[in-house]
Chains A and B, each alone.
Chain A
Amino acid sequence: MVDAFFFVGLPYLAIVICVAGCIWRSRYDQFSMSARSSQFLEDGKLLFGSLPWHVGIITILLGHLVVAVVPRVWSSLMVIPAVLFGVEALGVCCSLLAIAGLSALIVRRITDARVQAVTTTMDLVVVVLLMAQIVIGLLSSITFRYGAAWSAGTVVPYFWGILTLQPEMAHVTGFPMLFKLHIIGAWVLIALVPFTRLMHVLAVPLGYIFRAPQLVLWNNPRRRREAVDATARAESRRDFIKGAVGIAGASGLLALGVSEKVVTYFKGPDPDPEAESALLQKKLERLQQTAEERQLELERQRVEMILVARYIELDAAKGKYFIDYAMAPGLAFKGKNGLPLLISAKCTHLGCTVGSQVNAEGQIMCPCHVSYFNIVTGQPNPGAPAKLPLPHLAWALVDPSGNVVASGLPGGEVEGTPSPELLAQCSLYITKPRHSA
């Protein structure tokens, strides 16, 4: 019964009073609708109270508003731990800021005689209620952590239930007393809006940001003379603050983004075991590949003959790649006479590796700048970018017992004429070029 009053009756009462009261006041008592600024009476302490208070409370209220309007988007953001912690921390900071500001305002209001003179009872009620509400809010957010996350599934449906005339107080009746007090406090404050200076929240002075600065001065000749300078100073200060806020905001965001990225960048990835082993596997394969290349190089320095292929693997139309003694690619074909034909595959133009497929004209092509080389003569086609022929390479055919049965020199001289049956059993080697010098 008590719950029903506080969480269904009171809200509707508050809403009705607030709406009706605001309409009434805006029609019959328009000129009282203000924050009743006392800046004119006391301009020193105000800055240190009003500014932190408004910055803190506006940020917090915006947070409440966003979670109420887009609860799903909000919840999906709160799943990220860093965001949740960040939002909670921001909330606590802003509450503390607001409490500090409000305290300064209270001190100012009860110690300054000029401000005292314009203070009404309602002002004091509002200020005490606000202080209580924000302290309770802070306490409940610290006692029951992660309110930023769980409120989206509890308070928000309750709030929408009230607004859509389908009140569902079960969402909130199970809450601890502290948090219930916070909700009740909110409804009371809403009910008080039309009767207090709180009504100024309905008239957000956005125009202040864009309009030209206005100075309020005592009207006497000396002040009027000073007004020119004061206006210039105010304008320049305004420009400076606008620029400074922009730069501070931008560099703050930039620093936040960059440092977040840079920290995780230096921390490095945190791969799962499977990804990690896949990475290691890949690195090992690359290392092995490099080791093989090193081995090839060493072999070419030390060994007189290197195996290219078995004779029966050779083909007349498709060459087999190997690495020659200069560590450059070569191609092995079966020639027309049945004997091997070995030709360098390093294009004489710019050193690309020539393709292995022989076309109908008996040519192989370099893909880089399209030169066709005749595999028998090595000559490039007329007009090709390559001018020099591909050199032929020396080879030897070795039978299974290890005897050289035939060999060829780059010039085309062939020694030995093995029978086809023997050829089929042979293996093809390249032989180390003899240095003529």
Chain B
Amino acid sequence: MNLPEIIKNSEAYVAERFPVEKMSYSAMVVKKEVPVHRLSWAYYMGGLALFFFGVQMVTGLLLLFYYQPTVSDAHASVEFITDHVPGGSLVRNMHAWASSMMIAAVMVHLLTAFAMKAFAKPREITWVTGVVLLGITFGLGFTGYLLPWHQVAVNATKIGLQSVQEVGQYLPGAMAEWPRIVKETIQGEAAVGQATLSRFFALHVIILPLAMMATLGLHLLSVQLHGMSRGIDGPPKRQEKFFPTFFIKDLTVWGFAFIILFVIALCVPFESLYSYPLFEPFNPKGSTPDGIKPEWYFYFLYYPLELLPFWVILVGSTVLGAVLMGTPWIFQNTSRKTLQILTVLAALYLFVMTVFGEQIYHMFKG
């Protein structure tokens, strides 16, 4: 293929994914329709994740008014928010719970989009931006975990970053040092300290949210351009209008989500799921307390990491990442039935590892 032809082909490719003629209010909002069938509930998942992202933005901005990202003040300022600021514990608790709910919604969204083959042509860009959004969401979870600067936060971050360095042992020659250099670049100094806190703060508060919004813009644009994917093999029962019918239903779901989030945040402190000493301020001179573990949404990666040799996880997660990114091309000829079976298996794995991970770990390790 010569150069003009390549340019022409890529132009056609982009034009098919971002059809300019559809970029109008009438095509994207007025004429958009949503199929109604037995899997229609899955259409609410993306919106739900978006809603929780909005909650995170608002509560996060509120927390910014009091949080101080220094190793001496971080923990004290978080305590100050929780114990003294009026409504502070509610805001903080909502931020913590909504982060978990957002990740849960994002995971279900991923699984259902996969099962419904919502990545099929011309929706490749939607899928790929979605995978990027998933990565950013996990990044926000990981960076946000460090900010309170208590024992569990710092130690879990240490362990998480150390596993980057662990990759080095499988690399040949001088490359073996690279992962360590990468790790120290991320954390900014030889050990997790003030530099790490400042960097994670910047990532959590500015960089990742901005990246999220940019990617989200592309994601939502392509969703509105191409409409909802049909999702099932046969014809849907009927179509309903996106605006206002589906939109109002979406808002209703958000309303219920907010009530649930609010009640939980009001009644159940997020930290009640852990034992207390883990929330003492981080002490670099003491020994690491028992029971350090990441947030529940990393269990699916964490418990296998504890049980299996590191290289198995490394290869596994690399393959998983590649498959996720390449899904629109790898599975383009797979039937929805097969995709649904794969989804059920994946969901089963995630569920079992998240809920019973600890029991499984103790079963093998005594």
The answer to whether A and B assemble together is yes
Q: Evaluate contact between A368 and B288: CB separation under 8 angstroms.
A: yes
Q: Evaluate contact between A350 and B163: CB separation under 8 angstroms.
A: yes
Q: Evaluate contact between A265 and B72: CB separation under 8 angstroms.
A: no
Q: Evaluate contact between B290 and A367: CB separation under 8 angstroms.
A: yes
For window 250-283 of A, CB contacts with B under 8 Å fall at 261-262, 264-269, 271, 275, 279, 282-283
Are A321 and B285 CB-contacts (below 8 A) given A269-B86, A286-B75?
yes
Q: Evaluate contact between B281 and A286: CB separation under 8 angstroms.
A: yes
Q: Find chain A residues with CB under 8 A from B175 CB.
A: none
Question: Closest Cβ of chain A: how far from B314's Cβ, in Å?
Answer: 14
**Interface-lining segment among B20-28, B87-95, B323-331:** B87-95
Q: Find chain A residues with CB under 8 A from B342 CB.
A: none
B272 at the interface (CB under 8 A from A): no
**Interface-lining segment among B105-113, B124-132, B154-162:** B154-162
A353 at the interface (CB under 8 A from B): yes
Q: Evaluate contact between A268 and B191: CB separation under 8 angstroms.
A: no
Give which listed residue, A262, A268, A289, A352, contacts B72 with CB less than 8 A: A289
Q: Evaluate contact between A352 and B158: CB separation under 8 angstroms.
A: yes
Convert B124-168 into 0s and 1s, putting 1 for each residue whose CB lies closer than 8 angstroms to a CB of A.
000000000000000000000000000000010011001100100
Q: Evaluate contact between A265 and B159: CB separation under 8 angstroms.
A: no
Convert A366-399 into 0s and 1s, putting 1 for each residue whose CB lies closer than 8 angstroms to a CB of B.
1111100000000000000100000000000000
B57 at the interface (CB under 8 A from A): no
Q: Evaluate contact between B292 and A352: CB separation under 8 angstroms.
A: yes
Q: Evaluate contact between A265 and B191: CB separation under 8 angstroms.
A: no
For window 237-289 of B, CB contacts with A under 8 Å fall at 281, 284-289
Q: Evaluate contact between B288 and A283: CB separation under 8 angstroms.
A: no
A147 at the interface (CB under 8 A from B): no
Q: Evaluate contact between B62 and A265: CB separation under 8 angstroms.
A: yes
Q: How far is the CA of A268 from the CA of B91 in the complex (A)?
A: 13
With both beta carbons as reference points, the residue of chain B lying nearest to A366 in the complex is identified as B288
Q: How far is the CA of A385 from the CA of B85 in the complex (A)?
A: 44
Q: Find chain A residues with CB under 8 A from B90 CB.
A: 261
Instruction: Identify whether the interface residues of B are mostly helix, strand, loop, or mixed.
Output: loop
Q: How far is the CA of A370 from the CA of B73 in the complex (A)?
A: 32
B190 at the interface (CB under 8 A from A): yes
B71 at the interface (CB under 8 A from A): yes
Q: How far is the CA of A345 from the CA of B286 in the complex (A)?
A: 10
Convert A278-296 into 0s and 1s, putting 1 for each residue whose CB lies closer than 8 angstroms to a CB of B.
0100110011011001000
Q: Find chain A residues with CB under 8 A from B75 CB.
A: 286
Q: How far is the CA of A275 from the CA of B84 in the complex (A)?
A: 9
Q: How far is the CA of A108 from the CA of B285 in the complex (A)?
A: 84
Are A265 and B86 CB-contacts (below 8 A) given A350-B162, A368-B288?
yes
Q: Evaluate contact between B286 and A350: CB separation under 8 angstroms.
A: no
Question: Closest Cβ of chain A: how far from B83's Cβ, in Å?
Answer: 9
A213 at the interface (CB under 8 A from B): no
For window 303-358 of A, CB contacts with B under 8 Å fall at 321, 323, 326-329, 345, 349-356
With both beta carbons as reference points, the residue of chain B lying nearest to A319 in the complex is identified as B287
Q: Evaluate contact between A286 and B72: CB separation under 8 angstroms.
A: yes
With both beta carbons as reference points, the residue of chain B lying nearest to A321 in the complex is identified as B285
Q: How far is the CA of A321 from the CA of B286 in the complex (A)?
A: 8
Q: How far is the CA of A275 from the CA of B155 in the complex (A)?
A: 30
Q: Find chain A residues with CB under 8 A from B290 CB.
A: 367
Q: Find chain B residues with CB under 8 A from A264 CB.
A: 86-87
Interface residue count on the B side (C-beta < 8 Å): 36
Q: Find chain B residues with CB under 8 A from A354 CB.
A: 287
Give which listed residue, A266, A269, A352, A385, contacts B84 with CB less than 8 A: A269
Q: Find chain B residues with CB under 8 A from A321 CB.
A: 285-287
Q: Find chain A residues with CB under 8 A from B190 CB.
A: 326-327
Q: How far is the CA of A249 from the CA of B191 in the complex (A)?
A: 54
Question: Closest Cβ of chain B: how far from A252's Cβ, in Å?
Answer: 15
Q: Find chain B residues with CB under 8 A from A351 CB.
A: 158-159, 162
Q: How far is the CA of A271 from the CA of B80 in the complex (A)?
A: 11
Give which listed residue, B84, B191, B285, contacts A279 with CB less than 8 A: B84
Q: How far is the CA of A267 from the CA of B65 in the complex (A)?
A: 11
Q: Evaluate contact between B191 and A328: CB separation under 8 angstroms.
A: yes
Question: Closest Cβ of chain A: how far from B265's Cβ, in Å?
Answer: 12
With both beta carbons as reference points, the residue of chain B lying nearest to A271 in the complex is identified as B84
Q: Evaluate contact between B88 and A323: CB separation under 8 angstroms.
A: no
Q: How far is the CA of A327 from the CA of B158 in the complex (A)?
A: 14
Q: Find chain B residues with CB under 8 A from A366 CB.
A: 288
B11 at the interface (CB under 8 A from A): no
Q: Evaluate contact between B88 and A352: CB separation under 8 angstroms.
A: no
B306 at the interface (CB under 8 A from A): yes
Q: Evaluate contact between B62 and A323: CB separation under 8 angstroms.
A: no
Q: Evaluate contact between B86 and A261: CB separation under 8 angstroms.
A: yes
Q: How far is the CA of A349 from the CA of B166 in the complex (A)?
A: 9
B313 at the interface (CB under 8 A from A): no
Q: How far is the CA of A329 from the CA of B285 in the complex (A)?
A: 6
Q: Find chain A residues with CB under 8 A from B285 CB.
A: 321, 323, 329
Q: How far is the CA of A369 from the CA of B293 in the complex (A)?
A: 11
Q: Evaluate contact between B287 and A355: CB separation under 8 angstroms.
A: yes
Q: How far is the CA of A289 from the CA of B70 in the complex (A)?
A: 12
B76 at the interface (CB under 8 A from A): yes
With both beta carbons as reference points, the residue of chain A lying nearest to B158 in the complex is identified as A351
Are A367 and B76 CB-contacts (below 8 A) given A264-B86, A265-B85?
no
Are A265 and B91 CB-contacts (below 8 A) given A286-B281, A352-B292?
yes
Q: Evaluate contact between A265 and B284: CB separation under 8 angstroms.
A: no
Q: How far is the CA of A394 from the CA of B288 in the complex (A)?
A: 24
Q: How far is the CA of A262 from the CA of B85 in the complex (A)?
A: 11
Q: How far is the CA of A268 from the CA of B163 in the complex (A)?
A: 41
Question: Closest Cβ of chain B: how far from A322's Cβ, in Å?
Answer: 8
Give which listed residue, B71, B281, B288, contacts A367 with CB less than 8 A: B288
With both beta carbons as reference points, the residue of chain B lying nearest to A326 in the complex is identified as B190
Question: Closest Cβ of chain B: how far from A320's Cβ, in Å?
Answer: 11
Convert A140-170 into 0s and 1s, putting 1 for each residue whose CB lies closer than 8 angstroms to a CB of B.
0000000000000000000000000000000
Since A262-B62, A287-B73 are in contact, a sample of 14 more A-B pairs with Cβ atoms closer than 8 Å, ordered by chain A residue number, is: A261-B90, A268-B85, A269-B86, A279-B84, A287-B72, A289-B72, A290-B70, A321-B287, A327-B190, A329-B284, A350-B158, A353-B288, A367-B288, A385-B306
10 contacts between A and B (CB under 8 A): A264-B86, A264-B87, A268-B86, A282-B76, A287-B72, A321-B287, A329-B284, A353-B286, A353-B288, A367-B289
Which 4 pairs from chain A and chain B are nearest by CB?
Answer: A290-B72, A264-B86, A352-B288, A269-B84
